[in-house]
Structure 1
């Protein structure tokens, strides 16, 4: 099995590369997700709240919130582990119903080793006036693809 490259040997990753990777995900395109920040151990993913993404009570569906957490966590870990990463697992706590104009998932690496990273993600909704409100928090473990196959 090939070991992940040391951090100094990782290919250069930048916002443009992260956007190309996200665009290569059909589900992310379906949701209209976009990466707005990427690098230095963090990533921010956003998506517009639309009626077809809501549940029966008019809140953003929890599955959409969970998707945003998962992808933001994985992208943030990629800044530390390189581009070939997979989610090992994550947990999410829904704080309040997600209502607003935009969902923002901000993820930051808490700890990273050679094969895995632990990442925290705060999810907020932004209303028409630009005010943010926390709707969920998540934490996950991301593995380098080589470690996940071993």
Structure 2
């Protein structure tokens, strides 16, 4: 999606989200996902392939690529959303293109389409420069929750 057709990009939200995302606990922390940059309609992230992510067959589990893609699917949307809004994955599909046995994964998420309520995102992942997965998904964009009355 060309930058001029995107909703406005909030640099402050992008910076905050990169900082917050890189100190997040849970699955992103366990997998070692590191958001490295955001610009209008794009987000970039890295994941170092560690031994704990390798199966008994010697390859990284495809679920890691799925989780990596799913994480970026929402990340790319936040700087284009109203502060306090959130993105929830509705669906996504991952094509596993090549086995991963080590090295570093680098993912690029690109907004394909974005309306007030949904966004479609494409995520391409490379393993040390070699394509290893291509994903596309849809997120539902949720408005900020109303604050309860006192």
- Structure 2's unaligned 5+ residue stretches are 1-6, 145-150
2:137 to 114, 124, 140: 140
Change (3 A) 1:9 1:41: closer
TM-score (norm 2): 0.80
The total of aligned residue pairs comes to: 136
Say whether the 8 Å CA contact 2:94–2:135 is kept in structure 1.
yes
Alignment of 1:61-140 (within 5 A): 61-82=61-82, 84-126=86-128, 132-140=129-137
| 1:30 equivalenced with 2:27 (yes/no) | no
- Structure 1's unaligned 5+ residue stretches are 1-6, 127-131
CA-based RMSD of the aligned residues comes to 2.2
1:31-55 Cα offsets, whole Å, 9 max, x none, are 1211011121111121110111011
Structure 1 Cα separation of the partners of residues 11 and 44 of structure 2: 20
TM-score (norm 1): 0.80
Change (3 A) 1:98 1:14: same
Change (3 A) 1:67 1:60: same
Which residue in the other structure is 1:3 paired with?
none
Greater helix fraction, Structure 1 or Structure 2: 1
